[in-house]
Structure 1
Amino acid sequence: MWQGWPLERVLLLFVGLAFAMLSVQVTLFHARQNFRRWEMWVPVIEGPLFAVTAIVLAFYNAGWLRVLFALFMWIGLVGSLYGAYLHTAGVGQRVGGYSQSQNFLVGPPIMLPLLMTAISALGLLALYWG
């Protein structure tokens, strides 16, 4: 089945599976915080959409699907950078702010939205490099 698959297809499948797994973690973290801000719903909704689109694109290479995937990845790239900003600001709002290293451990995880940025960028690389 994998024999003869170009790197683009393998990367698209990887991106889809990575978004699927990341979506579970994001949903758990945001549910734990009771979705206190409406922005917390954005990655919970878009993550599974990104995952399904990438996985389907890995198996069915349609032009309209490539355009949709590109749009989703650009939205993911920009949106997750905004998420990293919100998470960083959230750490600063905790008691002691940025001077308390403990806030980086128990506060909003700054690296999680940056991981979503990286996966979105990998999706764009797989789409445009091939």
Structure 2
Amino acid sequence: MWQGWPLERVLLLFVGLAFALIFVQVTMFHSRQNFRHWAMWVPVIETPIFALAAIVLAFYHAGWLRILFALFMWLGIVGGLYGGYLHTAGVGQRVGGYSQSQNFLVGPPIILPLLITAISALGLLALYWG
């Protein structure tokens, strides 16, 4: 089944599975915080849509889906950067702010939204490289 698959299709499938896993993690983290900020809903809503789009695109090569997927990935890049900003600000709002290294361990994970940015960029690379 995998023999003869171009790298683009393999990467799109990987991107889809990565977004599915990120969805599980971000949903657990944000529900634990009771969705205190409206922006916490953004990755919970967008990551399963991104996952589905990537997986379908890996198997069904349609021009309209490529355009939609590219739009989704650009939204993922922007949303991930905004999430990184919000998470960084959240660490600073904890008692002791940035001077307490413990806040980076127990506060909002700064890397997780940036992972959405990175996986979105990988999706764009897979889409346009080939």
TM-score by length of 2: 1.00
Structure 1 gaps of 5+ residues are: none
2:39 is matched with 39
Deviation track 1:70-95 (CA, whole Å, cap 9, x = no partner) reads: 00000000110000000000000000
Match of 2:74 in 1: 74
User: Partner residue of 1:112?
Assistant: 112
Displacement of 1:7 after TM fit? 0.1
Computed over aligned residues only, the root mean square deviation of the Cα atoms, in angstroms, reads: 0.3
**3-state secondary structure, aligned to 1:4:** coil
Task: Using the TM superposition, give the Cα deviation of residue 56 of structure 1 relative to its aligned residue in structure 2, in angstroms.
Answer: 0.1
**Aligned residue identity for 1:97:** G
Give the share of equivalent positions with the same residue, in percent.
85
**How far does residue 35 in structure 1 lie from its aligned partner after superposition?**
0.1
1:57 aligned residue: 57
Give the partner amino acid of 1:125. L
- Indicate the residue corresponding to 1:88 in structure 2: 88
Does structure 1 residue 25 correspond to structure 2 residue 25?
Answer: yes
- 1:86-128 alpha-carbon deviations (Å, 9 max, x no partner): 0000000000000000000000000000111100000000001
Q: How many residues align?
A: 130
Q: How does 1:2-21 map to 2 (within 5 A)?
A: 2-21=2-21
SS in structure 2 of the partner of residue 34 of structure 1: coil
The SS at the match of 2:108 is coil
TM-score where L is the length of structure 1:
1.00
The code of the aligned residue for 2:60 comes to: Y
Runs of 4+ with deviation above 6 angstroms: none
1:3 Cα offset (Å): 0.6
